[in-house]
Each structure stands twice: as structure tokens, then as C-alpha cells.
Amino acid sequence: MKRIILSAALLATMTFACQNDKVDQVSPPSTLGNLSADELAVSSSIGRLGSSSEAFSQATAYQKANPTSTVAVTVDRSTVEAILGQSHTVGIRAYFIKNSEGKLDLALVGMDKDLNNRYLTNAMFSEGKTISEENFKKKLTLFQSENPIAIRAVAFGSQILLDRLNQTNSTGLRFYFTIDKDGNRNLMFVGIDRQSKDLLNDNPNARTTDDDAGTGGMPCPQHCGNNG
């Protein structure tokens, strides 16, 4: 399997949201909560498990094309649960933004079954902390003004996110920036263990097959609900 080798400089640019280094035990599995049948159908339709070999080849292509860019953004379990734990939230939309240091980063928000963003208090995250709706939208506007044609965000449904979050020894998710087959910036994600290592089939803590990467996210602006 082809893997990305992360240099110390690139690792320093990665965002760790609500990171807790002292994990005594893996948390109980997260659940989808009180979603209706229609909401469950939507949550299961966005994203899929795909080959990590193929996904990492796209991530490697991104790294080669953008050697000084952030490689990935790591999000811990509590952040994912805070977003997906809100009522009627069927998935997470990850927007591309620039962080306070001018580096590529992500801003995360939940979405409903109509693919509209759910701007709920304490359920929007960027640069490792909760942010307000006003600050969230300000970050999006700034990035989109500089990148008017590019994909703005990528959404993944609750079921695929929780599949990776609830695998054995998983304590969070890592979103890698990729270049897709159309040459656009995109995302894929994998689970991580307590040492913040990717839970892939070459990790002794993982119990998985080669289809261990979350891929096939829904891009915006093609699929943005009423968010433009």
C-alpha cells in the first residue's frame, strides 16, 4: 500500500480538534440517534468505504502538487459526536478554509436531510474549537472569495463517519486533502488510534481490510442545499 510520509513541518500544520492525549479506554460506540427513516436513508447514501490504497494515491498527488500545504486535519471523537449528536443531523459538511496562520484547514458543520447546514450553538468547529455562526460564515466567505471556482466543501453521511469512528481502537478521524480524478481538491478520511496513527490494515491496532477509507463525499457547490 502506498502511504504518505509526513514530515515534521507538515505535521506541525495539522489541526487537532479538542484533542485529549490521556485516553484511558476507547469510548462506547457512537450512534445515529433519533433519525427518521428518511433521515437514515440520506445518512447512508453520502460517502462510502473505499480502497485506502487508491485514496492515498490521490492524497499523495495532492501533496506533490502542494508541497507546502497542510496534508490532513485530525478531528477527535468528541467533536464528531458533538456535531452528529444534534437532532436531525444526517452528516457533516467539511468546508475548506484558511486558518489564522493562512494555512489550508477545515470548518465542520452538521447538515439535515435536505443538505442544509445546521448552524447550531456549540456544533460548529474550526481550528480545534467551537466557533460562532458569524465567525464560521466569515471564514467561508474569505476562502471562497479567493477560490471562486473550486469545490467549497465535501459532505459525508453519519453512517460512514460512525463506521470509521466506531471501529476497534478508534479515537477520532483524520481527513486527508486529495486531488480527485477531475483535478479538484477533495477529501477522504480514516480512523485514528490513541497514538494518532491511521487505522489501516498495516496498523496492528486495526482490524480492517483494504476498504478502510471514507471516500465518495458529496461536493459543494454541486450539492449544497440552500447554502449556495
The type of residue at 22 is: K
SS3 10: helix
Look at residues 227, 219, 148, 223 and name the one whose alpha carbon lies nearest to residue 187. Answer: 219
pLDDT at 17: 42
Quick one: pLDDT at residue 61?
93
For the segment 96-131, what is each residue's pLDDT rounded down to a tens digit?
A: 998 888 889 999 999 999 999 988 877 788 887 888
Which pLDDT tens digit goes with each residue over 149-204? Answer: 788 999 999 999 999 999 888 999 999 999 988 888 999 999 999 999 898 865 55
Q: Are 164 and 214 in contact (CB under 8 A)?
A: yes
Could you tell me the sign of the dihedral formed by the alpha carbons of 107, 170, 91, 121, in that order? negative
**217 — phi, psi (to 5°)?**
-65, 165
**What are the Cα distances from residue 59, in Å, to 6, 67, 96, 166?**
11, 12, 15, 23
Model pLDDT, residue 11 = 35
What pLDDT is recorded for position 96? 94
